[in-house]
Chains A and B, each alone.
Chain A
Amino acid sequence: MLRIRSISVSYGETEILHQVSLDVHAGEVVSLIGPNGAGKTTMMRAISGVIPVKSGSVHIGEEDLSVTPVSERAKLLAVVPQARKLTPEYTVQQVVMMGRTPYLGWLGNPSPGDADKANWAIDRTRISGLSDRKVAELSGGEQQLVLVARALAQDAPVILLDEPTAHLDLRHQATILDLVHSLARERGLAVLMSLHDLNLVSIFSDRIALLDNGNILAIGQPNEVINQQLLSQVYQVPLDIIPHPHRDIPLVLLNGRDD
């Protein structure tokens, strides 16, 4: 579904991403991991088209995103930003409705069909009780759900999430990632998300891409990428890998502290 072919991205003279390639298939959740500064955010921004790629290409199905107009691109690819980037004075309903922007005309008059899509997204993310509340009054977890609902309303086959669990408590982390995972399955969405918590990554991803210094070092299933040698080298910290007590996935444990 989403095909990234050797994209390179530079800020000024410095090249941040070096010929990175990655595929995300329909119905699949792929997580992008790597240390701070590895280029995860840059890669997400380059895929969504807000920063230009120097070389390489991004395709969704047959569409080459570099030549797709902005409004058409938004019908193919939806982005869930971090919750702190929300405009506080809008209501939940208003924010989710703006997910329909690529389908609306200049004046932004929604058709009943648009309203249906927005309401469906609100129901699916289980935030109907919050519809008329202002975003500013919501908790971080609720705000993140609103942004997921907005992306769903966009009705795009590919969804990018930029650290969707940052600053959330354990319950909201699980809620968001569960939702994302089941949406990928039931609607055949291709999901690419960047995450820092390696155990959440292991539980909720079909495949993992490990990014370091602008290169992809490994791509594969959790058992292939969550690997003691690889991770302790990339993150430069001593760690252990232990099996999940109930499922066939690896978990990451820090070795301990200096005392």
Chain B
Amino acid sequence: MKRPYLLNSILLVFALVLSVAIGAVFIPPASIMRIIISAIPFQLDPEFVSETMSTIVLQLRLPHSILIAMAGAALAASGAGYQGLFQNPLADPYLIGVASGAGLGAVLAMSLNWPSSLFGFLAIPVAAFVGASITVILVYRLARFGNVLSITNLILAGVAVGSFASALTSLIMLRSDGEVRRAIAWLLGGSTLSGWLPVIASLPFIVISLGILIAAGYTLNVLQFGDEQAQQLGLPVERIKILIILTASLATATAVSFTGVIGFIGLIVPHMVRILWGPDYRRLIPLSILAGATTLLIADLLARTLLAPQEIPIGIITALAGAPFFLWILWRHQRGGIKV
């Protein structure tokens, strides 16, 4: 595993192809390639492809898979970002309540004005971002005593604030009706909105937040010495913390806006990457992005196929795998005598 980027890129392409190929109708990878190539405009000699297959791939499966991959990448990267920021490997956007806060923001935006245009869609991640930012600041303030931020306090505060946000979200859902109610119900279970609009609406936020998180790798490394040493080494610590909180929250919020509240990806993926390729955040974040996309694509594939034709909400799959994993990490840390 000397070439982590190559390996993770290959795995991602593989997962993406599988994700598009497998469904109610199996579409062979070769046909997928042909359909995608034929969709490129201004070709001299477009290949003939079946209209139905083409619609399934281009209008249903491809946007769905890309959205899932983007969400997985965003959740894993923001998980790694929060872990670096809080200097704790157990921080996860779901566990610290940020995902629920983002969910509340997204649902508020949907219920106030059900979007029918791209502009309406863009309002959802923005509202989710506001919800996520308020949550993370609140949780951070509640969990911190003096200069000490213990993970116990962080997760307790995260659970409390997150539950409060989820309860408000459920209330809003009860008071709404029709399409909004259905959409929210899907979101709570962790499932995607369909079509290209959500992809286009999330793309700029994902690119900005992941770009900043990748660039922040080195400063996250220095931050692992603690605030005081980081400052003595020349980092403007407070400004950097705010920047990372905002970008990690933006990534979480965008993922939650269109794929729902999905837990544990931000915990599992960076943790596995850390075990396999070390703690250097300059590698950890880009590798988590690739591995996060792959992992969520696989979770989504399982969610769609395990009980087919019934679809399991993807959040259930990640929780089934993630909760035991969380306990395993906790156990490992306690045995290792490392303060969690």
Residue B235 interfacial (CB < 8 Å): yes
- Looking at A70, A81, A154, the one whose CB has the most chain B CB atoms below 10 A away is A70
Q: Find out whether the CB atom of B232 lies under 8 angstroms from the CB atom of A98.
A: no
The distance in angstroms between the C-alpha atoms of A87 and B233, with both chains bound, is: 14
B234 within 8 A of A: yes
Q: With A85-B226, A86-B225 in contact, is A70–B235 under 8 Å at CB?
A: yes
Contact A87 B234 (CB under 8 A): no
Question: CA–CA, A79 to B233, complex, Å?
Answer: 8
B221: interface (CB < 8 Å): yes
A106 to B235, CA, bound (A): 10
Stretch of B129-137, B148-156, B166-174, B212-220 with 4 or more beta carbons under 8 angstroms from chain A: B212-220
Q: In the complex, A102 Cα to B278 Cα: how many Å? A: 24
Indicate if A250 sits at the interface (CB-CB under 8 A).
no
The answer to the question of A99 belonging to the interface, with a C-beta cut-off of 8 Å to chain B, is yes
Q: Report chain B residues within 8 Å CB of A77.
A: 232
* CB-CB nearest in chain B for A81: B229
Query: B236: CB under 8 A from chain A?
Result: yes
Given contacts A50-B228, A108-B221, contact A89 B279 (CB under 8 A): yes
Main secondary structure of the interface of A (DSSP, over half): mixed
Cα–Cα distance between A81 and B231 once the two chains are bound (Å): 12
Determine if A87 and B224 form an interchain contact, defined as CB atoms under 8 angstroms apart.
yes
Decide: A99 and B233 in contact? CB cutoff 8 A. Answer: yes
> Known: A106-B215, A107-B215, A108-B218. Contact between A74 and B232, CB under 8 A?
yes
With A70-B236, A102-B234 known as contacts, the answer to whether A81 contacts B228 (CB < 8 A) is: yes
Of B215, B233, B234, B280, which is in contact with the most chain A CB atoms at under 10 Å from its CB?
Answer: B234
A194 within 8 Å of B (CB atoms): no
Task: Tell me, rounded to whole Å, the shortest Cβ–Cβ distance linking B284 to chain A.
Answer: 11
Q: How many residues of B contact A (CB 8 A)?
A: 24
Contact between A107 and B218 (Cβ–Cβ < 8 Å)? yes
Q: Within 8 Å of chain A (Cβ to Cβ): is B222? A: yes
Task: Name which residue of chain B comes closest to A110, CB basis.
Answer: B218
- Other-chain residue from A78, A86, A104, A108 in contact with B232 (beta carbon distance below 8 A): A78
In the complex with contacts A86-B225, A106-B215, A94-B282 CB distance below 8 A: no
**Do B218 and A74 touch (CB < 8 A)?**
no
- Interface hits, A38-92 → B, CB 8 Å: 45, 48-50, 69-75, 77-79, 81, 85-87, 89-90
- B224 touches which one: A69, A81, A90 (CB < 8 A)? A90
Tell whether, in the assembled complex, residue B219 and residue A74 are in contact, meaning their CB atoms are under 8 Å apart.
no
Cα A181 to Cα B336 in complex, Å, equals 38
Instruction: Determine if A8 is an interface residue (Cβ-Cβ < 8 Å).
Output: no
Report the contact-size class of chain A (Cβ under 8 Å from the partner).
Answer: 20 to 34
Residues on A with beta carbons closer than 8 Å to the beta carbon of B232: 48-50, 74, 77-79, 81
Q: Which residues of A contact B215 (CB under 8 A)?
A: 106-107
* 0/1 string, A179-218, CB within 8 A of B gives 1: 0000000000000000000000000000000000000000
- Chain B residue nearest in CB terms to A154: B233
Bound Cα distance A99, B229 (Å): 10
- A101 within 8 A of partner (CB): yes
B222 with A101: CB separation less than 8 A: yes
Residues in A with CB closer than 8 Å to B237 are 70
**Which residues on A sit within 8 Å (CB–CB) of B236?**
69-71
Are the C-beta atoms of B229 and A85 separated by less than 8 Å?
Answer: yes
- Closest chain B residue to A69 by CB distance? B236
Beyond A99-B233, A107-B215, 8 additional contacts (C-beta under 8 Å) are: A73-B234, A78-B232, A79-B232, A101-B233, A101-B235, A106-B215, A106-B219, A108-B221
26 pairs, A vs B, C-beta closer than 8 Å:
A45-B228, A49-B232, A50-B228, A50-B232, A69-B236, A70-B231, A70-B236, A70-B237, A71-B235, A72-B234, A73-B234, A74-B234, A77-B232, A81-B228, A85-B226, A90-B224, A94-B221, A98-B221, A101-B222, A101-B233, A101-B235, A104-B218, A106-B219, A107-B215, A107-B282, A108-B282
Binding site for B on A (CB under 8 A): 45, 48-50, 69-75, 77-79, 81, 85-87, 89-90, 94, 98-99, 101-102, 104, 106-109, 154
Closest 5 CB pairs of A and B: A108-B218, A74-B234, A102-B234, A71-B234, A79-B232
